[in-house]
Amino acid sequence: MTVPRIAVVSGAARGIGAGVAKRLAADGFAVAVVDLDEPACKPVVEEIEATGGRALGVGADVSDDQSVQATVNRIAEELGTPTVLVNNAGILRDNLLFKMSAGDWDAVMNVHLRGSFLMSRAVQGYMTKAGWGRIVNLSSTSALGNRGQANYAAAKAGLQGFTKTLAIELGKFGVTANAIAPGFIETEMTKATAERIGVPFEEFKNTAAAQIPVARTGTPEDIAHAVSFFVSEGAGFVSGQVLYVAGGPKT
């Protein structure tokens, strides 16, 4: 049986998600570019199509059950049976614990954890029927703890436990689940962090690079390369793993 090569990438209008979507298209997948704002997906879709690939931009709130189900149904109808899912959608609501509102806690948990749960639950049925699937969840080095990110760190650590559980439950159906934990990656999100703390982005990057063994900060392409490995045919015996893509060891 030929397995459909259809990938779904959430939070794919920019940053890491856009890099992953373009890499998977280059690897031969038709890609559903999913983001909260559907028009924002258009540049990524057009870039994929310009290089001969197939892509579909879809607007979705990954924290909303009905929105997720409608999105996955549309992808299945317009692109084909999804067999790869990359849960990348995420937001930041940073603050020290005593300043953090319950709303900021809930917002981060809803997008990162609830969103990954809803998307995985919606897609796994297609994967198990196909007898093949790949789920990749985007965690973070912040899962190890990071000042001002109690919500984000908890969500990213939770994704690691979620990933390992999916690997246990879905393995017998030919579905693997792995997580990637990026370090400092040059994206709009890290630029926004630099702006929030009042530091020029180049200075922000240089300070980070000085603490990274490979002496540079990461790019979306670094993460996309790791995703490409996890979703490959040859990675079928790798499941339940957390790969830190951070330019050096993390413990």
Q: Which residues are catalytic?
A: 152
**What whole-number distance in Å separates Cα of residue 32 and Cα of residue 72?**
9
Give the Cβ contact number of residue 248 at 10 Å: 11
Residues β-bridged to residue 185: 218
Residues β-bridged to residue 95: 149
8 Å CB contact between 166 and 208: no
Q: Please tell me what DSSP assigns to residue 3.
A: P
**What whole-number distance in Å separates Cα of residue 84 and Cα of residue 24?**
10
8 Å CB contact between 181 and 156: yes
Give the Cβ contact number of residue 137 at 10 Å: 26
